[in-house]
Amino acid sequence: MHKTLKIVSVTIFWILFIFNCQAQKQGLTGVQLKLSSLSEPMQQFNFIRNELEHSNNTSNDVDSSLCIQLLSIAQQLKSDSLLAISYNWIGAYFAFSKADYISGLEYFFKGIPLAEKAKDKRRLSSLYFDISLVYSEFKNYQAEYDYTIKGGENLPDQSSPLYNFMLIQYQNNLCSYYLDINKADSALHYARLSIETSGKLGIALYDMASICLTGAAYALANDTANADSAFTKALSILPNIKLSSLRALFYDTYIKYLIQASRLKQAASFCRQFINLGNTANSNAVRLKAVVYLQQIFDTLHQTDSAYYYSRQESKINAAIFSESNINRLQALSFHEKLRNIEAMEQQTAYNNRMKEYIMGVCLFFFVVVGIFLYRNNRQKHTANIVLQEQKQKVENTLTELKSTQAQLIQSEKMASLGELTAGIAHEIQNPLNFVNNFSEINTELLMELKEEADKGNTEEVKAIANDVIDNSEKITHHGKRADAIVKGMLQHSRQTSGTKEPTDINALADEYLRLSYHGLRAKDKLFNAMLNTSYDLTIGNINIIPQDVGRVLLNLFNNAFYAVAEKQKTASSEYQPTVSISTKKNGSTIELTVCDNGNGIPAGIKEKIFQPFFTTKPTGQGTGLGLSLSYDIVKAHGGEIKVGTKSARPGTDEEGEGTVFIIQLPI
């Protein structure tokens, strides 16, 4: 199903190749007559290009001979943009008409540097979309996604009349990608965008493709009502659609949905229409899909005879396709040979031009003083080599120094974070130590009193005092263990990470670093106070992380938050209450940690820079600019995401608001 979806989604959806040699011959005669009447190469190029686009919109064939002529004219005109267009069409011929994906990729990749050189964004976008579709046939879904995104990055300007045509291809490609990886929500999102864009175009071909994609997405999401609605709408449009590939798309997606919904009789009826379409279009690929669906239906209905019949039909069509593939391969080889001849002629022309230039150079050589020229040339080369070696050595030395400086700065950042902990840890340790000291003194007094009462023989009083001593000892033990845990946490933060993930209570980790960061700032500024808001999802439990690394990330975010509210307090009114909040939430297979403050916020213009190394908004000497960069790297190494935004705006957008919000997403 997805192969049909993806082929339809590009350039009015590169069509399945169906043989109809007699009709092609008659049509080509008229094309060649018209072409021969045009004298200018550029006119001929535009005419052939229009013919290819017209045939791709109304039939099922990318004409190989026209592709060859297109490339020949482009080479004659020596235009990078025209060559890129030619290679795009040749790649489409191989990939989508002949199913020769390797050859198709070869020509698509030939076109990319030419389109880049010509700064032809529309052509770049088209090439990347086509490459994405080829990788989807290899089930290399990551490459399919990457090249779709590259195509989206090179869309024409919105003022261009081609913008919506290319945008809908981008949306359909992404929808097909998410259908491939069974992500219904994302597929449905891009299907809806595709319908919105196709509405602007007002072209039935695009409407049909978008609606079929939407139906497939709803079917994947098991949303029967909306899937029915989408396919009913597609069914109403179907009589107006003459392009067999789009009709095949409808039958392919709809029949699959009907089988999934156990509506087998209805599915069988549409399968027969599907077979008729394959017979009309002379497409074994269409017939094969139809009989496979029929075999599946009759197997489910336990109608053995019918299932066996369609199984035999499947075998016959497979045999025919195998035979047809040999013919296709032979034609492809012939086409390759023609292309090589054209390229050989181009190389011969280039060689002749070089020979002419060489002869002219020899003639000019006799009019110069050979000795002086060679002497000066050698001296210049020698001098240039010396300068080059000196510059190379300087560059290598500078690079070594930069690497050393970078390592020192990273270590300084880690030590700075440890320094931020020190004051907070000191405050945290002081409380349990005060308890230990106080209860120790009390126990000393109680033991002296115990001794006196024992001398007096007052047994009941001795027992009461002994119980008090025991209670105090338990409290001493409790607070001693608390101090021990704090020290161990400090050592865990400061030691070199092993890089090994271990089950960790993320709520406890976040709460501990929040308090340590707060007390660290309080140690520097006794007058500073802030409200701490915590909201922890207790259903999260332990997750596998490297606690030292994630702790550094949290400490950095808390330090930045307290710094922001402290700076705002200096200029705010007396009603301003500095507030820092931390919350955790389980969201499917991920957890979200949200750190926000009500400080001055981050201007939209610098949001994209804050994760860059050495970028800081703090005054000189108060920040290295490495904290958020290291945090970003640590979160990415855990397979997560870190986003920044403001309280009244969404993280990851350019909207402005108050305060700052950081959201960390980590996989469970």
Pairwise CA distance, residues 149 & 129, whole Å:
9
Residue (of 651, 405, 407, 423) closest to 555 by Cα position: 423
Task: Using alpha carbons, list the distances in angstroms from residue 338 to 14, 205, 347, 579.
Answer: 23, 34, 14, 74
Measured CA to CA, the distance from residue 272 to residue 264 in angstroms comes to 13
Q: For residue 340, what pLDDT is reported?
A: 52
Helix (H, G, I), strand (E, B) or coil at 15: coil
For residue 649, report the phi and psi dihedrals to the nearest 5 degrees: -135, 160
Q: What is the distance between the alpha carbons of residues 593 and 511, in angstroms, rounded to a whole number? A: 12
What is the structure's pLDDT at 7? 46
As a whole number of angstroms, the distance between CA 419 and CA 306 comes to 79
Residues 615, 581: Cα–Cα separation, whole Å: 25
For 586-598, the DSSP string reads EETTEEEEEEEE-
What CATH number is given for 12-19+32-154 in this structure?
1.25.40.10
Q: Which 3 state secondary structure label does DSSP give 544?
A: strand
Residues 6+ apart with CB under 8 A from 361: none
Which pLDDT score, from 0 to 100, does residue 408 have? 61
> Looking at domain 502-667, which CATH architecture does it have?
2-Layer Sandwich (3.30)
| Class at the top of the CATH hierarchy for domain 167-252 | mainly alpha
What was the pLDDT predicted at 15?
Answer: 34
Helix (H) or strand (E) segment spanning residue 455? helix 370-456
Q: What is the DSSP letter of 607?
A: G
d(CA 11, CA 95): 14
Contact 87, 272 (CB under 8 A): no
d(CA 171, CA 187): 9
Q: Do domains 12-19+32-154 and 167-252 have the same CATH topology?
A: yes
In Å, how far are 18, 252, 292 from 274, measured between CA atoms?
16, 8, 11
Domain locations along the chain: 12-19+32-154, 167-252, 262-321, 394-494, 502-667
Residues lower than pLDDT 70 in the chain: 1-30, 54-63, 97-99, 204, 281-283, 285, 320-346, 366-367, 402-428, 430-431, 485-498, 614, 620-625, 647-657
Separation between Cα atoms, residue 165 and residue 473, nearest integer Å: 79
User: In this structure, are strands 660-667 and 531-535 parallel, antiparallel, or unpaired?
Assistant: unpaired
Distances, alpha carbon 545 to alpha carbons 248, 486, 497, 586, 638, in Å = 49, 20, 12, 15, 7
Phi and psi dihedrals of 664, rounded to 5?
-110, 125
From its phi and psi, is residue 646 left (phi > 0), alpha (psi between -120 and 50) or beta? beta
Q: What's the order of all strands across the beta sheet hosting 660-667?
A: 531-535, 579-587, 590-597, 660-667, 641-645
Q: In degrees rounded to 5, what are phi and psi of residue 586?
A: -85, 130
pLDDT value, residue 22:
37
- Which residues, in sequence order, are CB contacts of 56 under 8 Å at separation 6+? 11, 12, 14, 15, 62
Q: What are phi and psi of 594, to 5 degrees?
A: -115, 125
> What DSSP letter does each residue of 16-77 carry, written as one string?
PP---HHHHHHHHHHHHHHHHT--SHHHHHHHHHHHHHHHHHHSS---HHHHHHHHHHHHHH
Predicted local confidence at residue 552, as pLDDT: 86
Torsion of CA 145, 149, 150, 156, to 10 degrees: 140
Q: How far apart, in whole angstroms, are the C-alpha atoms of residue 213 and residue 192?
A: 9
